[in-house]
């Protein structure tokens, strides 16, 4: 490396949960995350979840006694705390609806160059599924390829 960089990418997304085991199950069964590790830190559990993308960041579920969902407000409206890229967003939207996930309608931006929908996890945290023709194609982690049922 010729240069010392301050940062190279976003490292993690932190999502609160009041029931870590239920949230691990929800993220693994509905979003195809894989549990990498679960441990105690500062009095509560943390779960490290990975996605199939070779260079995707980890999601850390943080168990907390604090109540309330995580979301951002944008112009007075709820806005998601995390967007997850979908190579086939129509398939993802249909799959999640069939699995009973609280999903909103699929929106198309511009002349079809981007699509998204919002959804809530088992704790009510607002998340976004997103697709854009500008997204880079992702290589998949070997351990996800070997265990895929699709």
Q: What are the tokens at 91?
A: 């398939």
Q: How far apart are CA 110 and CA 48, in angstroms?
A: 36
- Cβ neighbors of 99 (< 8 A, separation 6 or more) are 29, 30
In this prediction, residue 105 has a pLDDT band, given cuts at 50, 70 and 90, of very high
Q: What are the tokens at 65?
A: 């006694």
- Cβ neighbors of 81 (< 8 A, separation 6 or more) are 13, 15, 70, 71, 72, 125, 126, 127
pTM above 0.85, yes or no: no
The predicted pLDDT at position 71 comes to 80
Pair 46, 55: CB distance under 8 Å: no
Residue from 46, 75, 42, 72 nearest 61 by CA: 46
Q: What are the tokens at 60?
A: 């850390």
Q: What is the mean pLDDT of the chain?
A: 87
Residue from 108, 109, 105, 115 nearest 83 by CA: 115
Q: What are the tokens at 121?
A: 């996890």
Q: How far apart are CA 144 and CA 135, in angstroms?
A: 20
Give the phi and the psi of residue 31 in degrees, each rounded to 5: -120, 5
Is residue 120 pLDDT above 60, yes or no? yes
pLDDT tens-place string over residues 123-141: 999 999 999 887 767 666 6
- The stretch 42-66 carries a mean pLDDT of 88
pLDDT tens-place string over residues 3-23: 888 887 777 889 999 999 999
The predicted pLDDT at position 136 comes to 65
Q: Which residue has the higher pLDDT, 85 or 135?
A: 85
CB atoms within 10 A of CB 14: 13
Q: What are the tokens at 99?
A: 């699995």
């Amino acid at each position: 490396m010729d240069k010392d960089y301050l940062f190279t990418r976003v490292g993690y997304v932190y999502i609160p949960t009041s029931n870590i085991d239920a949230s691990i199950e929800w993220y693994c069964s509905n979003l195809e995350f894989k549990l990498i590790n679960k441990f105690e830190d500062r009095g509560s559990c943390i779960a490290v979840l990975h996605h199939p993308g070779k260079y995707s960041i980890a999601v850390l579920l943080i168990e907390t006694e604090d109540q309330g969902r995580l979301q951002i407000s944008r112009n007075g409206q709820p806005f998601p705390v995390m967007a997850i890229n979908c190579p086939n967003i129509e398939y993802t939207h249909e799959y999640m609806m069939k699995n009973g996930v609280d999903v909103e309608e699929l929106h198309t931006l511009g002349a079809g160059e981007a699509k998204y929908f919002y959804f809530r996890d088992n704790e009510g945290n607002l998340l976004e599924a997103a697709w854009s023709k500008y997204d880079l194609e992702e290589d998949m982690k070997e351990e996800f390829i070997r265990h895929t049922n699709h």
